[in-house]
Structure 1
Amino acid sequence: MEAADGNQDSSEETKQTAASFKAYLMKNNTKNNLNLYDHLTRLLIKLMDERPQDVVDVFEDMSHDVKRGLFEQKQSTLRDLQQTTAAELLAEQQRQLFARSEEADQEDELVDTPFPNVNEIGFYLEQAGVGLGREEMQRIFLALKQLVESQSLQRCRFWGKILGTQSSYIVAEAEYREGEEEEEQSTEDAGEEEEREAVTQENEVDTLPQSTFKSPPVVPKEAIGSGANKFVYYVCNEAGLPWVRLPSVTPAQITVSRQIRKFFTGKLDNPIVSYPPFPGNEANYLRAQIARISAGTQVSPQGFFQAGEEEGDEEDETPRDSYEANPDFEGMPVVEMAESLSTWVHHVQHILQQGRCTWVNLAVKQEEETHDEEEAEDREEEPDEPEPEIGPPLLTPLSQDAEMFNTPPWSSKISSALTSQHAIAALRSNLWPGAYAYACGKKFENIYVGWGLKYAGEGFSPHVPPLPQKEYPSGPEITEALDPSLEEEQALKEALEVQEAAQEEMEESDEEEEDDD
């Protein structure tokens, strides 16, 4: 019995010794946070997997290899490559703007540049209290130069910047080149032919009865280079990114754009979800808004432009859409331009309710189309001739602009009242927030920096709800009483009988007194 107790004590001591020895082996090193127990475990696993010959001779080398394998990933002194950010990618693309071509190293010829000095425009706009900053204006200046060189444009100017929810649009206005009309017309004709072929194929397959409803005639688009399509517009999200040419605008797009309000996202192919449905994507909606803003806010000092002379159009009642610079213009006093709106005029045609700058008679075209179909039928009533819509003529003073929502259409000021001889006259549109113009001597410029939306009046503020009505007064006439019990009814009946008996006694006593009298 004593021997068994001794064996049990020795086994417990052995277990304690083994546990303490294992704890000693598992003690981590203070330098590399490793322990001998894990190292021996990995070494034995490596020996069992590889089973080399002369294990005693290569044991130290294998131990060294196991240690080295743990630090191979940490021995590299090279830093991890950082991910390229969006700002770095944009800077790499804008780097091309500052590259100087070999042709530019030669002597520059003294020729008229096709684009204005954007830095000078930015300087004057800073005095008017508006602008994009000197760095961004410089990048836009170089981007316009790149656009002119790549597209071989005759004239180009910085129209403005339209803000968006995800990215913005930098807009450049340019004149049409010769041959662009034919290219765009050919693409439109090809699209119309495909639509006609698709319609004819559907009619051949579908044998159901056709509807006799005729949709109203479509207002034709203005010719390229005239009216709302007088200029071509290029846009890009940031200076240095590729320029994209916007399509020409149609009257239907202008008409629907007047009925909806949508913020821009910065993606030209983004669909426009609205009611009424907009005929196109964001690129078409952007082009329609640019046409509306230009027609309402492009102004110039009175006398800077004069109506262009056109042969054979002296008796034509339609408003002229051409003008030319007046060589005799000497400028106007800045103080006078800042005080009076009559010194400013519109030099872009007004867009009519039809969606065009020049009115077109749709009844005549509709009669020509239906003339062949209705030759055999007698017309009892002839349709009334529609009255032509005539807008304000070109070079109309700003003083004739109408107010909206009790808000004056324009606000004018002088940049500095202390040094008026060196100040500029600044003009701000209240109907199109973000549209500005300035004039100084013989120089003037227009710019737009905004969300591309027209002023729609103050926000709707609902009326305060009335105070809640008071509770009805409680009383026997209104408050509903509980049904009495049988005992209560009997008690009430007895009380009424006692009251009636007392009343009868009083009446009899009164009668006896009268008889005695």
Structure 2
Amino acid sequence: MPWVRLPSVTPAQIIAARQICKFFTGRLDAPIVSSPPFPGNEANYLRAQIARISASTQVSPLGFYQFAEEEGEEDEETARYSLEENPDFEGIPVSEMAESLSTWVHHVPHILDQGRCVWVNLAEKPEEVIEEEEADEDKEEESDKPEAEVGPPLLTPVSEDAEINKTPSWTSKMSSMLISQFAIAVLRSNLWPGAYTFAFRKKFENIYIGWGLKFTGEGYKPPVLPPTQVYPNGPEIMEDLDVSLKEKQAMRTTLEEQRGTQEETEEPEGEDEEEEED
């Protein structure tokens, strides 16, 4: 099969992917039937899972990367995500990397709850609207503004990752204890089963071979459905009670009597009019 470039992922797809648990079928055009609904097909869901796995499991040995030092003024937000390889990196002994999780660090930005790596104030209005409503903005209090969400910085050790039911998020070991001089350090993710990182001297690599599902520590429970819509009470939407057969017959008899009485009252009036004409 030919290689297919996956579409770009959106924050809405990241948020929806966190709330569902679906196996892949292998067909990129397959629909995603889930609750809550996923905005896209399997190609979009695959791209969202790749983004989540990459942000959580791409790690490197401590000291392999360093923050880039560029001349001139640089945006603080941009500087937090600017990394470069450290030319002075000498490597870490395999035995030390197999024993301590502090020797491994994240080098990919964390995905925030908003579904983005960089927080965006969705309540902020465009500049044109701001100029038209300057008087109203002066009256707004700072407490009304949403608080910016900040994730863990780059080069944070994996030892600081949250545990899963009292189990570390990562497990490190040596590939072989018999020939330790040729062994490599292996780091396994317990949060995303199938994600591994191996390192030897100045080289490392990340790999993932799994089902694309996250380990939650317990059985999957879909989100609770929203409450059903409550309609207002009123005569126009109230359902009438069923009428019994006796009530129908009594009502029919009453209507017939009313019609007969009405006909009797109308006939004399017609006769009087005829006499007057004569």
The structure 1 segments of at least 4 consecutive aligned residues displaced by more than 3 Å after TM superposition are 310-315, 367-383
1:285 equivalent in structure 2 = 45
Report the Cα offset of residue 285 of structure 1: 0.7
1:343 aligns with 2:100: no
Does the 8 Å contact 2:56/2:110 carry over to 1?
yes
Give the structure with the larger helix fraction: 1
> Partners of 1:348 and 1:378 in 2: how far apart?
37
Deviations, residues 53-78 of structure 1 (Å, cap 9, x unaligned): xxxxxxxxxxxxxxxxxxxxxxxxxx
CA pair 398-378 structure 1, distance change in 2 beyond 3 A: closer
Report the Cα offset of residue 381 of structure 1: 5.3
1:27 equivalent in structure 2 = none
Does the 8 Å contact 1:318/1:358 carry over to 2?
no
Deviations, residues 401-453 of structure 1 (Å, cap 9, x unaligned): 11122221001111112221211111100000000010111111110000001
Matched position secondary structure for 1:364: coil
CA pair 333-253 structure 1, distance change in 2 beyond 3 A: same
- Superposed, 1:76-225 pairs within 5 Å as none
Deviations, residues 361-380 of structure 1 (Å, cap 9, x unaligned): 22223x65755886898997
- Superposed, 1:417-496 pairs within 5 Å as 417-459=177-219
CA pair 434-335 structure 1, distance change in 2 beyond 3 A: same
1:387 aligns with 2:139: no
* Matched AA of 1:360: V
Matched position secondary structure for 2:123: helix
> Partners of 2:31 and 2:128 in 1: how far apart?
34
> Partners of 2:135 and 2:67 in 1: how far apart?
49
CA pair 355-313 structure 1, distance change in 2 beyond 3 A: farther
Matched position secondary structure for 2:198: strand
2:237 equivalent in structure 1 = none
CA pair 407-374 structure 1, distance change in 2 beyond 3 A: same
1:362 aligns with 2:138: no
- Superposed, 1:7-86 pairs within 5 Å as none
Matched position secondary structure for 2:124: helix
**Which runs of 5 or more structure 1 residues have no equivalent in the other structure?**
1-240, 461-517
Does the 8 Å contact 2:102/2:158 carry over to 1?
yes
- Superposed, 1:303-382 pairs within 5 Å as 303-313=63-73, 316=76, 320-365=80-125, 368=127, 371=130, 382=141
1:150 equivalent in structure 2 = none
**Which runs of 5 or more structure 2 residues have no equivalent in the other structure?**
221-278
Deviations, residues 248-272 of structure 1 (Å, cap 9, x unaligned): 1111111111111111110111111
Does the 8 Å contact 2:188/2:195 carry over to 1?
yes
Matched position secondary structure for 1:303: coil
Residue 25 of structure 2, aligned match among 257, 265, 280: 265
CA pair 378-260 structure 1, distance change in 2 beyond 3 A: closer
* Matched AA of 1:284: N
> Partners of 1:369 and 1:262 in 2: how far apart?
43
For these two proteins, the number of residue pairs brought into alignment is 219
1:397 equivalent in structure 2 = 157
Identity across aligned pairs (percent)? 74
Matched position secondary structure for 1:363: coil
Q: TM-score, normalised by structure 2?
A: 0.72
Report the Cα offset of residue 388 of structure 1: 1.1
* Matched AA of 2:218: E
2:174 equivalent in structure 1 = 414
Does the 8 Å contact 1:319/1:393 carry over to 2?
no
Deviations, residues 11-34 of structure 1 (Å, cap 9, x unaligned): xxxxxxxxxxxxxxxxxxxxxxxx
Report the Cα offset of residue 387 of structure 1: 1.3
* Matched AA of 1:386: P
CA pair 313-436 structure 1, distance change in 2 beyond 3 A: farther
Q: TM-score, normalised by structure 1?
A: 0.40
Deviations, residues 321-349 of structure 1 (Å, cap 9, x unaligned): 22111121111100000000111111111
Matched position secondary structure for 2:66: strand
> Partners of 1:376 and 1:414 in 2: how far apart?
65
> Partners of 1:266 and 1:453 in 2: how far apart?
15
- Give the root-mean-square deviation of aligned CA atoms: 2.4
Deviations, residues 250-305 of structure 1 (Å, cap 9, x unaligned): 11111111111111110111111112221111111100100000000001111111
Residue 6 of structure 2, aligned match among 221, 233, 246: 246
> Partners of 2:175 and 2:44 in 1: how far apart?
37
Report the Cα offset of residue 459 of structure 1: 3.5
Does the 8 Å contact 1:431/1:454 carry over to 2?
yes
CA pair 338-355 structure 1, distance change in 2 beyond 3 A: same
* Structure whose CA Rg is larger: 1
Does the 8 Å contact 2:68/2:79 carry over to 1?
no
> Partners of 1:376 and 1:325 in 2: how far apart?
49
Deviations, residues 172-222 of structure 1 (Å, cap 9, x unaligned): xxxxxxxxxxxxxxxxxxxxxxxxxxxxxxxxxxxxxxxxxxxxxxxxxxx
Matched position secondary structure for 2:16: helix
> Partners of 2:27 and 2:113 in 1: how far apart?
29
CA pair 323-459 structure 1, distance change in 2 beyond 3 A: same
